[in-house]
Amino acid sequence: MNLRESMRAMNRLVGRDRNPAPAVAPIDIPEPFGARLVSMFSGEPQVGEDGRAYPLDGVTSATQPTCMWLYQLCLEERPKKTLEVGLAYGFSTVSFLAAIARNNIGHHTAVDPFERSAWHGIGLANVRTLGMEEKFRFVDAKSVPALANFGEAGERFDVIFIDGNHRFDDALVDFTLGSELCPQGGYIALDDMWLPSIRKVVAFIRTNRKDFVSVETPTANIAAFRRVGLDGRSWNHFEDFTTVR
């Protein structure tokens, strides 16, 4: 089973088939970004890097409220640099890029080792169609080496969106490495709170990472945090986080 098939199977299993509804709620994002998102959320076939149109799988995307939240957050915070783990078709990337265009400031990095093999490079093609290549960097690598390299290079990101491998340990490592890249006042958001693995990671952060405070979001499917301090835990600190909150 390939990555896409297993995601589809997983969503079916938990009753969360998220086929884009044919009637898409209005998307209050300026053109050409709004039209791109409407087309994608409508489930229209999308052009890949090779110029051919491919059907979307109907399950792999940040939801519409999540895209709107990312866009609004970036309008308010005017981040200089943003980062996401998990590009795929580029729903969230288009939302970040829309804010960069509107703010006239910012640069977005997306990390995904399967962008070309699993998603036909549709996310990359979207960036090109929108004429935003200069404000965008794609890293064709797994999140662990990519985020570690950003840290080595001293890079910082004001908004980090974690939407890559959704296993508990992978998402926790993405958060931990992401926290090294997040300055005070910066944000880290995790997608897909419907998954027990992500809820468990979030329970750990809420219980153990007092340098991050929860931020309210308009959708329960994301958990967002703002960095408010340094990580001052002692070497053996541990608060039990067995309760998923």
Q: Is 179 in the site for ligand SAM (CB under 6 A)?
A: no
Q: How far apart are the C-alpha atoms of 80 and 21, rounded to whole Å?
A: 34
95 vs 211, which CB is nearer to ligand SAM?
Answer: 95
Q: How many alpha carbons lie under 13 Å from residue 145 in its C-beta half-sphere?
A: 6
Using the structure block, give the residue that is written with the tokens 């290549």: 133
Window contacting ligand SAM (CB under 6 A); options: 31-39, 105-113, 125-133, 149-157: 105-113
Does residue 190 interact with ligand SAM by CB under 6 A?
no
- Does residue 48 interact with ligand SAM by CB under 6 A? no
Q: Which of 112, 211 has the CB closer to ligand SAM? A: 112
Is residue 62 a contact point for ligand SAM (CB under 6 A)? yes
- Cα distance from N-terminal residue to C-terminal residue, the chain: 33
Residue 158 CB, nearest distance to ligand SAM (Å)? 18
Q: Are strands 81-85 and 107-111 parallel, antiparallel or unpaired?
A: parallel
Does 114 help bind ligand SAM (rule: CB under 6 A)? yes
Determine if 89 is a binding residue for ligand SAM (CB under 6 A): yes
**Per CB under 6 A, which region of 17-25, 50-58, 80-88, 201-209 contacts ligand SAM?**
80-88
Site membership for ligand SAM, residue 118 (CB under 6 A) = yes
Q: Which residue has the tokens 């969106």?
A: 161
85 binds ligand SAM (CB under 6 A): yes
Residue 221, interface with ligand SAM (CB under 6 A)?
A: no
Minimum separation from the CB atom of position 164 to ligand SAM (A): 3
164 near ligand SAM (CB under 6 A): yes
Tokens of 43: 């489930």
Interaction of residue 43 with ligand SAM, rule CB under 6 A: no
Q: Is 20 in the site for ligand SAM (CB under 6 A)?
A: no
Which of 71, 91, 96, 136 touches ligand SAM by CB under 6 A? 91
Residues at the contact surface with ligand SAM, assessed by CB under 6 A: 60-62, 85-92, 111-114, 118-119, 142-143, 163-165
